Amino acid sequence: MSHQLFKVQSLLNLSFLALFLFSCIAGTAKSSDSHSGKHSRSDVKQGERYYKGLLPKASPNPSCVSCHYYKPADTINWNPASIEIAELYLNKSSEDLEEVLLSPFGKVMSVAHANIDVPQDQIQYVKAYMDNLAENGLPKDKPSFLKLLLFLLIGGVMTWALLDLIFFHKVKFKAIPILIILLALGYQLNMAYEAAVKLGRSDTYQPDQPIKFSHKVHAGDNKIDCMYCHHTADESKSANIPSTSLCMNCHIVVREGARSGKFEIKKLVEAYEEGRSIEWVRIHQLPDHVFFAHAQHVGAGKLDCAQCHGAVEEMHILKQENDLSMGWCLNCHRETKVDFEDNEYYQMFDEFHKELSEGTRDSIMASDIGANECSKCHY
Ligand code: HEC
Ligand code: HEC
Ligand code: HEC
Ligand code: HEC
Ligand code: HEC
Ligand code: HEC
């Protein structure tokens, strides 16, 4: 029994070590080739200093990264992400870059790029850094040699505790070596997990949606009705996501936003002109075995979008408000009265109409008309 435990422990230790070593090797391989043949390594480095504002003499002006971000922000960041501008300029020249930096166009960019600090003759290096970013992403964190040593040390302590528990019995209380083993195992698992996660992660962030479409700007500030864009919600199963041509009803004229400038709307216009649709990332998704129709709720039930989707008109980034669980559906059906009096959909419920008019019943819930029967929601 004890011997088996020992074998299991050594096996675990070995497999962790293998994973850790593998991640070290994969990590270094990635970071050593993270510069392209197009530009020399020193050009890229020099450009990085300007891009990140890491100059010897600290500049009072914002660096490129302070606006063009790498990582997701907690709130919406209206400036284009670094990876987006880098990709956009990969096939452009450093003269093109010079143009937007030194003589920016548009209301938003002429303010944002007003205090750019990069000297004209250095812009080619910033371009080199951006090209490198577009081609290779951000360099990965290299796993350090110290970490590997720590990993081995913890493995050693664990082995000692196990040996003591099984053979030596030097420590009087069995609880102590057991505690050490558990702690060490936990720590190693955590290290291995982190190494494994790093292995698969890309560090260069792109916004969650292909275009920074804001419901607050449209449905909130500009008071556009939900049904203008989601116009099938009252009569069909799906509420529908608007097509680029619907967006163009307005954006044929509106070519610059107060927050994002021309950048985001330009993506829309280009997609429209090339006949591409925007690949919006879906947020709400019921499992396949559930049937849900907007028509029953918005059309027949006359429910407000907000009852299920919350205050969408206040969201820059759309969030799912409810968990869409079965309990959520059933509870609402039990608690929500259906407006029987003047709704053509309920003509067929003669019995209920009679009870209502005779006063033997004062209200009818959605569940009363069968909304909580399994077959209504499950095929
Ligand atoms: C100008 C057009 C427009 C208007 C007006 C609009 N939406 Fe949208 N809506 C969109 C687009 C585009 C998306 C996809 C991008 C996204 O998720 O932000 C979307 C997505 C959604 C989604 C998420 C869909 C999913 O993927 O699960 C919900 C819910 C939604 N809208 C509800 C509303 C509500 C409620 C209103 C009114 C308060 C509203 N919308 C007004 C265009 C619009
Ligand atoms: C009774 C709750 C409820 C109401 C009311 C409701 N929705 Fe939804 N909505 C949902 C659910 C649930 C989904 C997910 C559907 C799925 O995955 O099949 C959804 C999905 C969506 C989607 C994604 C596309 C789709 O149809 O699957 C959009 C857009 C949307 N709703 C907009 C609206 C708008 C606009 C209104 C008001 C006019 C509205 N919804 C009213 C529950 C509701
Ligand atoms: C009914 C008119 C209308 C429709 C339809 C419309 N928009 Fe807009 N949109 C506007 C207006 C007006 C602004 C300018 C808001 C501002 O600058 O404050 C705007 C701004 C924007 C912005 C920039 C926001 C900012 O402040 O920087 C983006 C991006 C955008 N719209 C995308 C879309 C997309 C994508 C669609 C289609 C799903 C769409 N719009 C449909 C009227 C519309
Ligand atoms: C104060 C914020 C801010 C700073 C600092 C900043 N930018 Fe920008 N940048 C923006 C905004 C906002 C836009 C989009 C404006 C628009 O499209 O109207 C933009 C757009 C761009 C674009 C895309 C231009 C195009 O053709 O659409 C490039 C490239 C760019 N910036 C590079 C840089 C570089 C390089 C630096 C550093 C030297 C920098 N930016 C510093 C805010 C900033
Ligand atoms: C905000 C309250 C609310 C929520 C949440 C809700 N429903 Fe409903 N539902 C209603 C009301 C009210 C009706 C009655 C409208 C009608 O059929 O005329 C209804 C009716 C239905 C019906 C039609 C029943 C019939 O008799 O034909 C189905 C199916 C249904 N809901 C499915 C769902 C599913 C699936 C969910 C969860 C994903 C859900 N509902 C969430 C309020 C809600
Ligand atoms: C009003 C709509 C509605 C009705 C009525 C309903 N369900 Fe569901 N059911 C759902 C939804 C929505 C889910 C998906 C829940 C999720 O993904 O968390 C679900 C999921 C399930 C699941 C899968 C559980 C899981 O964890 O994935 C089973 C089994 C199930 N329902 C059985 C039933 C049975 C049996 C009945 C009748 C007593 C019933 N349902 C009635 C909406 C409904």
The predicted-structure confidence for 38-84, as pLDDT tens digits, reads as follows 899 999 999 999 999 887 676 778 899 999 998 877 789 999 999 99
Cα 228 to ligand 2 centroid, rounded to whole Å: 15
Q: Which structure tokens are listed for 331?
A: 């509870």
What CA–CA distance (Å, rounded) separates 148 from 17? 9
Ligand nearest to the backbone CA of 122 = 4
Q: Is the CB of 111 under 6 A from ligand 6?
A: no
Residue found by looking up tokens 């030596």 in the block: 168
Cα 267 to ligand 3 centroid, rounded to whole Å: 12
Q: Is the CB of 215 under 6 A from ligand 1?
A: yes
Q: What pLDDT sits at residue 113?
A: 95
Burial of 191 (0-12, 13-18, 19+ CB in 10 A): buried
Q: What pLDDT sits at residue 238?
A: 95
Cα 229 to ligand 1 centroid, rounded to whole Å: 7
The predicted-structure confidence for 124-169, as pLDDT tens digits, reads as follows 999 999 999 999 887 766 667 788 888 889 888 888 888 888 888 8
What CA–CA distance (Å, rounded) separates 10 from 6? 6
Nearest protein CA to atom 28 of ligand 2, as residue: 239
From residue 156, give the alpha-carbon distance in Å to each of 20, 146, 166, 176, 316.
16, 15, 15, 16, 52
Residue found by looking up tokens 């209920």 in the block: 352
Ligand nearest to the backbone CA of 317 = 1
Burial of 29 (0-12, 13-18, 19+ CB in 10 A): exposed
Q: Please report, in tens digits, the pLDDT of each residue of the chain (379 residues total).
A: 556 666 766 776 676 677 667 666 655 544 444 555 689 999 999 999 999 988 767 677 889 999 999 887 778 999 999 999 999 999 999 999 999 999 999 999 999 999 888 888 899 999 999 999 999 887 766 667 788 888 889 888 888 888 888 888 888 888 888 899 899 989 888 887 777 766 655 566 677 899 999 999 999 999 999 999 999 999 999 999 999 999 999 999 999 999 999 999 999 999 999 999 999 999 999 999 999 999 999 988 899 999 999 999 999 999 999 999 999 999 999 999 987 777 766 777 888 888 888 888 888 899 988 899 999 999 8
The ligand 4 site (C-beta within 6 Å) comprises: 62, 64, 66-68, 79-80, 85, 89, 97, 100-101, 106, 108-109, 112-113, 116, 118, 126, 261-263
Q: What pLDDT sits at residue 31?
A: 46
Q: Is the CB of 316 under 6 A from ligand 3?
A: no
Amino acid type, 353:
H
Residue found by looking up tokens 């870059």 in the block: 97
Closest to 79 in 3D by CA, of 188, 176, 205: 205
Mean pLDDT of the chain: 87
Q: What pLDDT sits at residue 243?
A: 96
Q: Is the CB of 328 under 6 A from ligand 5?
A: yes
Find the distance separating the first CA and the last CA of the chain, reported in whole Å.
52
Q: What pLDDT sits at residue 353?
A: 83
What CA–CA distance (Å, rounded) separates 159 from 266? 61
What CA–CA distance (Å, rounded) separates 205 from 80? 11
Nearest protein CA to atom 18 of ligand 3, as residue: 258
What CA–CA distance (Å, rounded) separates 369 from 301? 12
Cα 74 to ligand 4 centroid, rounded to whole Å: 20
Q: Which structure tokens are listed for 166?
A: 């099984």
Q: Is the CB of 268 under 6 A from ligand 1?
A: no
What CA–CA distance (Å, rounded) separates 277 from 244? 6
Cα 318 to ligand 2 centroid, rounded to whole Å: 13
Q: Is the CB of 107 under 6 A from ligand 5?
A: no
Cα 218 to ligand 3 centroid, rounded to whole Å: 6
Cα 217 to ligand 3 centroid, rounded to whole Å: 7
Ligand 3 atom nearest to CA at 268: 35
Dihedral, CA of residue 182, residue 183, residue 188 and residue 189, to nearest 10:
60
Q: What pLDDT sits at residue 33?
A: 45
